[in-house]
Amino acid sequence: MNINKENSLFNTKIVYDLTKFTHLDYPEHLACIIWFSGCNMRCDYCYNSDIVFAKSGNYTLDDMLKFLKTRVGLLDGVVLSGGEATTHHLIPFCQEIKKLGFLIKLDTNGTNPHAIKELLDLELLDYVALDYKAPKEKFIKITHSNTYDKFSDTLNLLLSSKIKFEARTTIHNDLLNVDDINLIIDDLTTRGYNKKYYLQKFLDTQTNIANIKTASKKFDKSKLSKKLDIIWR
């Protein structure tokens, strides 16, 4: 990347918001969260619609670096979230974060395996939280994005790397039932995933993309597969 392009990357408002402190979003670490504008999915249950539909952001990467310089020694890590952070070119920014000594966690829907491979190859990531949105048959219906194969490549990439990562799924009972989750668990274990699997309950903020309400159907936890250690959030 030439200097002009890199300057413009650092001076363009692509960050929607900054959470200055979290002890929940990066396992075992104190961190901040950088929320990147824009996403290449349109998940029905998504409550970050402002971020997803944002044409630009409110802060530049330079703004973020200025903030991070004030947190050296106080925070352990930086969470790159969104939106979908990998829709932006992250390498130069991650290199600057690393120079400040922070760990980097990436929250991703997994649709950019090439970008994630580059980040892994350059050892710029320390932890990845990968959304497993739905079984293949329901993937488009829930995400409105024909990207299951790309997600699948990312999952395989993470499984074949040494990176610490987690798979997680958001559940709205009318969209995903216990059989769907068991299909996901079967797929994960068949591929060799043996870590904790995180299930997140749908949060009705009245602002989700598809304007869906709290589910009418019940999720029968007693029928969940026991093949993985499941953690509810």
- Out of 37, 48, 87, 147, which residue is the one contacting ligand SF4 (CB under 6 A)? 48
Q: How far is the CB of 46 from ligand SF4 (least distance, A)?
A: 3
Q: Which stretch binds ligand SF4 (CB under 6 A): 35-43, 59-67, 159-167, 174-182?
A: 35-43
Rg over alpha carbons for the chain, rounded to the nearest Å, is 18
CB of 12 to ligand SF4, least distance (A): 20
- Amino acid identity of 28? E
Binding mask 77-106 for ligand SF4 (x = CB under 6 A): -----xxx----------------------
Q: What is the Cα–Cα distance from 120 to 156, expressed in whole angstroms?
A: 13
- Report the nearest approach of ligand SF4 to the CB of residue 119 (Å): 18
CA 28 to chain CA centroid, Å, is: 17
Nearer to ligand SF4, 146 or 190 (CB): 146
Near ligand SF4 by CB under 6 A: residue from 14, 15, 34, 43: 43
Residues 123 and 161: their CA atoms lie apart, in Å, by 11
Side-by-side strand order, sheet with 164-171:
59-60, 13-22, 31-36, 77-82, 103-108, 127-131, 164-171, 197-201, 230-232
Site for ligand SF4, rule CB under 6 A = 39, 41-43, 46, 48, 52, 82-84, 109
